[in-house]
Structure 1
Amino acid sequence: MTRGTGRALRKWAIRAGGSALALALIFSLLPREAIFEGFARLTWPLFLSVFASFLVCHVAAAAKWWWLMDRAIGFPAALRAHFGGLAANLCLPGAAGGDAVRAGLAHVALRDGPRVAAAAVGDRTVDLVALVCLMLVGLTLIGGAGSGGFAIAVAGGILAAASAGLFLLPPLVRALWRRWPRLPARDLALRTAEAFAALTRRPGVLLAALALSVSIQAALIGLSIQLALVVGVNVPVAAWFFAWPLAKIIATLPVSLGGLGVRESSLAALLAPFGAAAAEVVASGLAWQGILYLAGALGALVLALSGGSFRTRPSAIKEMSE
């Protein structure tokens, strides 16, 4: 076993332990019968229709990432890479997350590591801003008109900070290597700075990506509500728009396998003040987690049937770092 493989297995074991602990706490603190009763209310037609809509949302998410990459590769290749990354993020016990696998697969086709990196960071920044904006919209609707000004100010501050991060990185990198020209990886740093600069020269694309991301995340919230209503969770839609994005952000912490256990417990805690029964929220959340893993398995199947792999070739890794 190589050192890299051992490190990957340790990270996977930590995440698996985090999910196991979260699930153990959920099933020890909440009535199991209520959770199972919530599952029993779900029907296969509903589950499969939500799953199909979930896949459509991820096709749109792949298109968003593809646009940020300036459509440098064919859309089928981008779609394959996106679902390969989704599979890696949810299903594989590897060190590389979904973004790394997606970037690696894109680089195999594009051979332009800096552009792939800029698109990946831009995509994640846009998604984070979209989630925070939706969360603040929900908070505003819950709190009434009095909290609207504060929520808008916070959302504007987050958007400004994210924009500043993207726009200020290129000149900062250039200034750093101009001041200390003997720093290592000069060519890679300058090429990466130029890739970020090229992305910021397309503000219309960034705004369109943000609008699309907000639409995708709002659609995913709607799908979650469909599952929850059948299970028996009845809370205001505004509460969902506040709690769901926040639970998703919490679930991205590297302490679980794809958010398993963490997402459900976080969502149950956040919706409890609005009258939601924790057991029913957990039941709907686990059903949603099943959709996530099913989509990841589908991505793995598509990647395998197309002759792909979750590991990029050593030459591709070398090219990304040159």
Structure 2
Amino acid sequence: MAVPARALKKWAIRAAGSAAALALIFWFLPKEAILEGFTRLSWPLFLGVLVAFLLCHLATASKWWLLMDRAIPLPVALRAHFAGLAANLCLPGAAGGDAVRAGLAHASLRDGPKVAAAAVGDRMIDLVGLACLTLWGLVMLGGHGANRVLAFAVSGIVFALAVAGLFLFPAIARGLWGRWPGLPARGLALRVADAFAALGRRPFLLLFTLVLSAAIQSVLIWLSVMLAEPVGVHVPLAAWFFAWPLAKIIATLPISLGGLGVRESSLAALLVPFGAGAPEVVASGLAWQGILYLAGALGALLLIASGGGLRAAAAPRTITEVSE
């Protein structure tokens, strides 16, 4: 299948963003110190972190499955989630992990609005969980951490987007298409609004998945610390809870390939004020990026071994647009 020009252009922009971020990192920081950091990591530790990372994604896939009201079999949800992980990190020009995951779920469920609402709701819950963790880290630091203004600003934006998406969008969509029924995609917009409204009427589910998301992200922070300590990054745990979620939120901006380069530079800038060395932070961050890419490759192997393919997993146009 030919790669659409629009998707190829988006991939090229993100690749250029990652290349620029990595070039700046290796221009301003001593390459020898970064490479030396890799030599301090042992294979047993790296592989152990990879296994724990995959277990965290099993829990993440289950969380998404709950948001879909368990409407598809759990094995299908797991397969779709790891296919999305592969697409998000490995495939140039893919619509994104969320769209591929939604496409596989839609092939089983045939309920586009429900799948789209679960995908967007899952993404927003993860971002809110990250914002809560970074604010908690700031509290543990006594409220005097560096870049606290940035933390409050980013968290405020995340909370506002989550509230708007889950609670305000249904009313806005119904109002717009009710007043101007001739607007395009009326049926889809109203069905998506109904799906979001259904999520909003289940506060206990939203709270449970938010707590689960924060717990999963906390384990991921601990795994990052496990990788960083041998490399030579020694900062308070509170600093990790402040900086790691904030760097991950920044890395979700569509300016790089899976956050490559942006995540590492952001994390270094946030941890240096707490006594970390920037080369060591970058080395541990690139090792973490290796975990992400290996997990994506394993997701692709899982999809192929189960008889599927990312071409077959492509979502219908309407689902892709909503999921992005």
**How far apart are the structure 2 equivalents of 1:259 and 1:242?**
18
Taking only the aligned residue pairs, the percentage that are identical comes to 71
Spell out, residue by residue over 1:22-70, the C-alpha distance to the aligned partner (whole angstroms, 9 max, x if none): 1122122111111111111100110011000000110000000000000
Counterpart of 1:85 in structure 2 is 84
Counterpart of 1:134 in structure 2 is 133
Work out whether residues 138 and 144 of structure 2, in 8 Å CA contact, stay in contact via their aligned partners in 1. Answer: no
Counterpart of 1:173 in structure 2 is 173
- Unaligned 5+ residue runs, structure 1? none
1:157 Cα deviation (Å)? Answer: 9.2
Q: Is 1:309 equivalent to 2:272 in the alignment? A: no
- Unaligned 5+ residue runs, structure 2? none
Going from structure 1 to structure 2, the CA distance change for 1:41 and 1:122 (only over 3 Å counts) comes to same
Counterpart of 1:15 in structure 2 is 14
- TM norm structure 1: 0.91
Work out whether residues 7 and 95 of structure 1, in 8 Å CA contact, stay in contact via their aligned partners in 2. Answer: no
Q: Is 1:296 equivalent to 2:284 in the alignment? A: no
Comparing 174-183 and 226-235, the one that deviates more: 174-183
Spell out, residue by residue over 1:1-37, the C-alpha distance to the aligned partner (whole angstroms, 9 max, x if none): 96x6222222222211221221122122111111111
Q: Is 1:268 equivalent to 2:268 in the alignment? A: yes
1:182-261 pair list within 5 angstroms: 182-261=182-261
Letter in 1 for 2:251: A
Comparing 117-126 and 7-16, the one that deviates more: 7-16
**How far apart are the structure 1 equivalents of 2:69 and 2:48?**
32
Comparing 168-177 and 113-122, the one that deviates more: 168-177
Spell out, residue by residue over 1:154-179, the C-alpha distance to the aligned partner (whole angstroms, 9 max, x if none): 97996576235312222221222221
Going from structure 1 to structure 2, the CA distance change for 1:266 and 1:102 (only over 3 Å counts) comes to same
Comparing 216-225 and 14-23, the one that deviates more: 14-23
CA RMSD of aligned residues (A): 2.5
Work out whether residues 100 and 313 of structure 2, in 8 Å CA contact, stay in contact via their aligned partners in 1. Answer: no
Work out whether residues 101 and 311 of structure 1, in 8 Å CA contact, stay in contact via their aligned partners in 2. Answer: no
Letter in 1 for 2:284: S
Counterpart of 1:116 in structure 2 is 115
Spell out, residue by residue over 1:170-200, the C-alpha distance to the aligned partner (whole angstroms, 9 max, x if none): 2221222221122222221221111111111
Work out whether residues 88 and 94 of structure 2, in 8 Å CA contact, stay in contact via their aligned partners in 1. Answer: no
Work out whether residues 38 and 231 of structure 2, in 8 Å CA contact, stay in contact via their aligned partners in 1. Answer: yes
Secondary structure of the residue aligned to 1:73 is coil
Letter in 1 for 2:47: L
